[in-house]
Amino acid sequence: MCREIEAEVLSPSPPAFSEIVLLEMNPHRVHAYWHVTPEALMQARRDHQAPNAPLSLWLYGLFGSTLDDDQAAVPLHGEALGGLTGQRDFESLTGGGVYRAAIGLPLSDGGVVVVASSNPVRLPFPSPSPRYECSLLDIRRGGVGAPSGGEVHPLGPGPAIVSSVPWPGSVSSVGGRGAHGDSD
């Protein structure tokens, strides 16, 4: 019985909606995949009287205070796309930075029509935090919520053990824009 249906065929029918998704790869790189429906593209061109506007992809750095704060989005990269579906990496980004991507049409007045906008991603920091804060949490107490019941560690103002573990060596740093957690 099983042998007859050993291989169901994955028919890669494109989704019925437009989307762009960002995935974190490492502190300096994100991966994007996208799909735009022909209908959405035609509609955008028609609505904005931009029949020849090229479908384009932009990556933004978000320099607001939270993952969802798009107020201070700075475009870092833009390119015209050759098709409705694709994948690519963005490199040389800043560890700890927050990024979002969008796909749409550039307008002649400098504006942009967004057809699909990605999830925001925060890249990990590639190096130890400059912040030191030793609050202790007694996990027997359930540990739910912020460690408001924690105590200030009595041993002093800095780490007791400084680890010299070199890791990872394969990802080159391009510098950080701020300290760990300073924009959380």
Partner 1 sequence: MAAGGLSLVLHAHLPFVRHPEHEDFLEEDWLFEAITETYLPLLRRLERLADDGVPTRFTISLSPTLTAMLDDDLLRDRYLLHLENLIELAEKEVHRTRADAAFAPLAQYYRDWFQATRDAYLDRYRRDLAGAFGSLEETGAIELMTCAATHGFLPLLKTEPEAVRAQVLLGQESHRRRFGKPAAGIWLPECGYYPGLETVLQEAGFRFFVVESHGVLNGSVRPHYGLRAPVACPNGLAAFARDPESSHQVWSADHGYPGDPNYREFYRDIGFDLDFEIIRPHILDGKTRIFTGIKYYRVTGDTENKLPYDPKQARRMVLSHARHFLEQRQLEVDRTAPAMDRDPHILCPYDAELFGHWWFEGPDWLEAVAREAAAAHPDLRLLSPSDSLSQDPRLQVLTPSASSWGSEGYSDCWLSGANAWIYPHLHRATRRLCSLAARHAKEPAQSPAARALNQAARSLLIAQASDWPFILKTGTSTEYSEKRIRDHLGRCQVLCDAVDNNAIDPYRLRALEEMDNLFPFLDFRLYNGGPASLLP
Residue with smaller CB distance to partner 1, 21 or 50: 21
Residue with smaller CB distance to partner 1, 75 or 130: 130
Question: Which residue in 104, 57, 61, 48 sits closest to 80, CA to CA?
Answer: 57
C-alpha pair distances (Å), 142 with each of 23, 137, 147, 151, 152: 33, 10, 11, 16, 19
DSSP 8-state symbol, 43? H
Judged by DSSP in three states, 5 sits in helix
Determine the Cα–Cα distance for residues 79 and 56; give it in Å rounded to an integer.
Answer: 5
Report the run of H or E that residue 47 belongs to, with start and end: helix 38-47
The upper half-sphere exposure of residue 85, i.e. CA atoms within 13 Å in the direction of its Cβ, equals 8
Binding flags for partner 1, 28-67, as an x/- string (CB under 8 A): -x-x-x-x--------------------------------
Cα end-to-end distance, the chain, whole Å: 55
Q: Are 123 and 93 in contact (CB under 8 A)?
A: yes
- Smallest gap from Cβ 99 to partner 1, in A, equals 14
Where in 69-88 is the site for partner 1 (CB under 8 A)? 87
- Smallest gap from Cβ 95 to partner 1, in A, equals 9
- Smallest gap from Cβ 74 to partner 1, in A, equals 22
Where in 102-121 is the site for partner 1 (CB under 8 A)? 119
| 127 scored as a contact of partner 1 (CB under 8 A) | yes
| 160 scored as a contact of partner 1 (CB under 8 A) | yes
Contact pick of 82, 163, 172, 175 for partner 1 (by CB under 8 A): 163
Give residues in contact with partner 1 (CB under 8 A): 1-12, 15, 21, 23-27, 29, 31, 33, 35, 87, 119, 123-147, 150, 153-155, 158-163, 165, 167-168, 170-171, 180-181, 184
